[in-house]
Amino acid sequence: AEAFNAAVAAARSLNAFTVETPELALAAADAADAARASGELKPLSGIPLGIKDLFATKGVDSTAGSKILQHFKPTYESTVSGNLKAAGAGMLGKLNMDEFAMGSSNETSAYGPVISPWKRNDGGNAALTPGGSSGGSAAAVAAGIAPGVTGTDTGGSIRQPAAFTGISGIKPTYGRCSRWGIVAFASSLDQAGPMARTVRDCAIMLEAMAGFDAKDATSLNLPVPQWEAGLSADLRGKKVGIPKEYRIDGVPEEINAIWDQGIEWLKDAGAEVVQISLPHTKYALPTYYIIAPAEASSNLARYDGVRYGLREMGVKSLDDMYAATRADGFGAEVKRRIMIGTYVLSAGFYDAYFTKAQKVRTLIKRDFTEAFRDCDFILTPTAPSAAFGLQEKMSDPLAMYLNDVFAVPASLAGLPAMSVPGGLDSQGLPLGIHLIGREMDEQGVLNAGLAIE
């Protein structure tokens, strides 16, 4: 009992969960026993999963990492978490995250940062970030607390934390997983996906999560492929594209070394390597940081103190109530995004920023279409660094945004993309390998991931 309590305390010290719901996980385990007895086991019967706190879960606090949604208990279940439940899974709890999924280090959460279970091998004890925004998700899997979790990825929030913690995570094609019941950040970019220890576990989870949903206007009306059954690490006949624009100055040599290692592994699996060009890559980050805040500023207008969560009292007028609630309820990063978004959408600047960004987004998408004439999938590093220390980048938003440099192009193009563990750096920290596939070709991405794993 002592060892058990110590393990629980160690797990809790990571601050990966905002709410624990062991009773729901146990109920699913009981249901799985009954299902086994009657021969009716489902794909995820009894599997205890963590759910990112961006997903609305019926009757269970769903905060999106924000004070403005503290104690908000939805009366409905998100389609994706509902799909997992219907496949037999139980919920261990809700996972901590950057506020409204805005961040790359989980430090913008109103519920405190998540601590990575990893440490540098320098003998020190410096607390490292698990990445973000799905930081609680990544930490829970990496620490062995949950075998699988949900994440969401708007500009890298599944892939970068997966890379930082040595696990796998896939962002499917935009539209594969319903956004219904997921708190909206940037609606044209947001996608749910699984994070787990292995590529196979990701395939199994994604099959349960995905599928057409009439309640999401951008949901893909396509059958869900049998990704797990289709797994194969034999890449003979496949071409892997290496984009020259991803070799950028200032990226540590160790990151490029792991990238080269990934190329060798894919060759060993039978793939042919081709050099490709994605010429608009350098515009992806500025494009993303116009479009995502623009959509966020619109989506976050609904938090007015009337409909959900927090409401500041003792004010003189309705306008004062809105202002006081939003001033108190939103954190600094969310306010920064609302201001950037409002600015780029304002009458005088709309064409110069928002329209321009939409045009560049089209060019970035076109780059990929061109590249996929010459290759079947693309291989890059997931992030330009290993996990950094808490507080290291919090005072410099631009340094934080730069960490998304390799992840955002695939988001802007709506393409499936995955991070799988590539190896450890000289500090003993995991580095991720990033695979980007053609639209709807999650299978190709998963298979390439399997060949690397």
Q: Which is nearer to ligand GLN, 185 or 372 (CB)?
A: 185
* Residue with smaller CB distance to ligand GLN, 378 or 410: 410
Site string (117-156) toward ligand GLN, x via CB under 6 A = ----------------x-------------------xxxx
**Distance between CA 379 and CA 436 in Å, rounded?**
7
Residue for token pair 């003979």: 236
Contacting residue, 404, 425, 441, 442, with ligand GLN by CB under 6 A:
404
Residue 101 touches ligand GLN, criterion: CB under 6 A? yes
Would you call 133 a catalytic residue per the annotation? yes
Residue 73 Ramachandran class (φ > 0 left, ψ -120 to 50 alpha, else beta)? beta
Q: Looking at beta carbons, which residue is closest to ligand GLN? A: 157
The one among 62, 157, 297, 443 contacting ligand GLN by CB under 6 A:
157
Polymer length of the chain: 453
Residue 109 touches ligand GLN, criterion: CB under 6 A = no
Q: How far is the CB of 287 from ligand GLN (least distance, A)?
A: 12
Give me the least distance between CB of 146 and ligand GLN, in Å please: 20
Q: Are strands 239-243 and 377-381 parallel, antiparallel or unpaired?
A: parallel
The single residue of 66, 105, 109, 157 carrying the catalytic annotation is 157
Residue type, 237: G
Q: Is 52 noted as a catalytic residue in this protein?
A: yes
441 is an interface residue for ligand GLN by CB under 6 A: no
Cα–Cα distance measured from residue 392 to residue 128, given in angstroms and rounded to the nearest whole number: 9
Q: Do residues 449 and 200 make contact, with C-beta atoms less than 8 angstroms apart?
A: no
Instruction: Say if residue 166 is exposed, middle or buried (CB neighbours under 10 Å; 0-12, 13-18, 19+).
Output: buried
Q: Closer to ligand GLN at the Cβ: 169 or 421? A: 169
Structure tokens at 397: 């938003």
For residue 356, indicate whether it is catalytic: no
CB of 404 to ligand GLN, least distance (A): 5
Exactly one of 79, 81, 104, 419 binds ligand GLN (CB under 6 A); that residue is 104
CA distances from 395 to 74, 386, 389, 400, 401 (A): 34, 19, 13, 9, 12
Residue 154, helix vs strand vs coil? coil
Query: For ligand GLN, which is the closer residue by CB, 57 or 403?
Result: 403
Residues whose CB falls within 8 Å of the CB of residue 430, separated by 6 or more in sequence, listed in order: 118, 163, 164, 165, 166, 386, 387, 421, 422, 423, 424
HSE (side-chain half, CA atoms, 13 Å) at 81:
33
Q: Which of 56, 102, 208, 338 binds ligand GLN (CB under 6 A)?
A: 102
Site for ligand GLN in 233-292 (CB under 6 A): 292
Considering the candidates 133, 137, 219, 419, report the single residue annotated as catalytic: 133
Catalytic residues: 52, 133, 157
- Contacts with ligand GLN, residue ranges (CB under 6 A): 101-104, 133, 153-157, 185, 292, 404
